[in-house]
């Protein structure tokens, strides 16, 4: 993969990209989200998006979506919104989050804090979201319960706010 630019013009290459997730959009296009980690970037732990119009043979140059955290999990909601759930691991604000796009990932206009009970826990994350039959979203992840050492599976059930 060719080098790409981070949000501040930093060089990001394949050695900085991990844990991809791919979905098919309603128009048949593939969208991939990639955990990107580069100590020179701000934020240094973020999500890049890439697209394929030929069923995965070739991909567009990845571009950051501007969130502080990862790894990404993508889903398309019945409303047409694309949801990217991820873990924010910034000291002091560690929490599970979800970014929402109403234009197939071109812009990310809403961001939800799904669970922020965990303070500065370092062992957390890897969210995965599904839509339930009533349109609500269930996001699963792992975290230690406050005051506990060991992690456990946690979840948050939530709904999209009306589009602005």
Would you say residue 128 has pLDDT above 90? yes
CA separation for the pair 35, 33 (Å, rounded):
7
pLDDT of residue 150: 82
Q: What percent of the chain has pLDDT over 90?
A: 46
pLDDT of residue 3: 61
pLDDT of residue 119: 61
Q: Which of the four pLDDT bands, split at 50, 70 and 90, describes residue 12? A: low
Helix, strand or coil for residue 113? strand
CATH class of the domain defined by 4-158 = mainly beta
pLDDT, averaged across the chain: 84
CA separation for the pair 75, 94 (Å, rounded):
22
CB atoms within 10 A of CB 73: 24
Burial of 147 (0-12, 13-18, 19+ CB in 10 A): exposed
Write the pLDDT tens digit of every residue in 67-110. Answer: 888 899 999 999 999 999 998 877 667 788 999 999 999 999 88
pTM: 0.86
Higher pLDDT, 10 or 55: 55
> Which strands, in side-by-side order, build the sheet including 63-64?
17-24, 30-37, 45-52, 63-64
Find the range with the poorest average confidence among 1-15, 20-34, 73-87, 129-143. 1-15
Q: Which of the four pLDDT bands, split at 50, 70 and 90, describes residue 29? A: very high
pLDDT of residue 153: 92
CB burial of 5-24 (b: ≥16 within 10 Å; e: otherwise) equals ebeeebebeeebbeebbebe
> Kind of pairing, strands 30-37 and 45-52?
antiparallel
Q: Which of 87-96, 107-116, 117-126 has the highest mean pLDDT?
A: 107-116
């Amino acid at each position: 993969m060719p080098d790409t630019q981070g949000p501040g013009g930093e060089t990001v290459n394949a050695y900085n990209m991990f844990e991809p997730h791919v979905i098919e959009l309603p128009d048949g296009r593939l969208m991939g989200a990639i955990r990107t980690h580069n100590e020179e970037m701000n934020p240094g732990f973020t999500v890049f998006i890439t697209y394929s119009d030929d069923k995965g043979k070739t991909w567009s140059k990845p571009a950051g979506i501007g969130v502080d955290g990862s790894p990404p999990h993508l889903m398309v909601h019945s409303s047409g919104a694309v949801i990217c759930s991820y873990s924010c691991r910034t000291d002091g604000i560690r929490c599970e989050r979800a970014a929402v796009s109403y234009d197939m990932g071109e812009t990310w206009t809403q961001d939800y804090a799904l669970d922020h009970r965990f303070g500065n826990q370092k062992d957390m994350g890897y969210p995965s979201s599904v839509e339930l039959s009533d349109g609500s979203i269930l996001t699963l992840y792992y975290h230690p319960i406050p005051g506990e050492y060991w992690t456990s599976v946690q979840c948050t059930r939530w709904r999209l706010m009306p589009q602005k």
